[in-house]
Amino acid sequence: MGRGGSVISLLVPSFTEERVLGAQGFCHVAGIDEVGRGALAGPVVAAAVILPAQIDYGWLSLVRDSKQLSPKKREYLLSRIVEVAVTIGIGRINGEVIDSCGIVRATQMAMKAAVEGLSPQADALLIDYMSLPQVSLPQKGITNGDCRCLSIACASIVAKVTRDRIMKELDQYYPGYAMAQHKGYGTSEHISCLYRLGPSPVHRQTFRPVREMIR
C-alpha cells in the first residue's frame, strides 16, 4: 500500500461533520456512499444513513470504510447500524442504466434514490467525494469521506453488504462467472470466465473488456 493509502487506513471516522451541521440547526444529517462503480457486472448501490444526534455505542469504534473490514465484521456492524439508525435508504441502479447514461450519472441516481428512501427525510447531506445537483438540500462532498465521517462510513457498510448479497443472488442466476467471489469486479478469475463464457445479461456492455467482447 502506498503512502497515501497508509494514511487513509489509519483514519478513524468521526462524528465531527454531523455535529457541526447539528449546531447549525440541521436535525437529520444523512451520510451517503456507494459501491460498485468500478465493477464489470451488477448494479451500483448507494446507501444513505441518518444516525441519532446522541451516539454512545462501543461498537462505533469498529466502524471503518467498508473496504477496510472483513465480510464478517461488515455483517456484524450492519446489524448494529440497522438497530440504532434513525433511518436508512438504499438506491440500486442496474447495468442497463449504467450503460445508457454513464457510471457517474448512474451513481448520482442511486444516491438520489437512497436519499428519497429516507423517512424521516434528510435536511442535509454528507457525501463521499461526490455532489448531488439533482437534490436540493444543503450538502457537502468529503474526499475520503468513508474514512473520515461516521455516517458516511456506516453508509459504505450498508451499501457494501447490500451489493454483496445481490451479487451472490446473481451468481445463482448466472452460474460459471464466480460472481459470489469477485462481486463483479475485474479479477483475473472474472476475466477468465468472461473469455470462456462471454458476457452475461448483467455485465456492463460499455466497460472494458466487456465492450471489446461484443463488437
All residue ranges of the chain with pLDDT < 50 are: 1-3
- Is residue 49 within 8 A of residue 127, CB to CB? The reply is no
Instruction: Give the domain extent around 28.
Output: 3-166
Work out how many domains the chain is built from and give that number.
Answer: 1
Note whether residue 134 is domain-resident: yes
Please say whether the dihedral angle defined by the alpha carbons of residues 87, 77, 36 and 196, taken in this order, is positive or negative.
negative
d(CA 202, CA 108): 20
The CB density around residue 196, as the number of other CB atoms within 10 Å, is: 9
* The predicted structure's pLDDT at residue 4: 52
DSSP symbols for 126-183:
EEES---TTS-S-EEEETTHHHHBHHHHHHHHHHHHHHHHHHHHHHHHSTTS-HHHHT
Residue type, 208: R
Q: 84-97 pLDDT, tens per residue? A: 999 999 999 999 99
Which residue reads 455516517 in cell numbers?
151
Whole-prediction pTM: 0.94
Q: How far apart are CA 94 and CA 50, in angstroms?
A: 25
Tell me if 127 sits within 8 A of 141, measured CB to CB: yes
Note whether residue 30 is domain-resident. yes
pLDDT at 3: 42
Residues 20-43 have pLDDT tens digits of 999 999 999 999 999 999 999 999
Asked whether residue 129 is domain-assigned, the answer is yes
CATH of the domain at 125: 3.30.420.10
Note whether residue 23 is domain-resident. yes
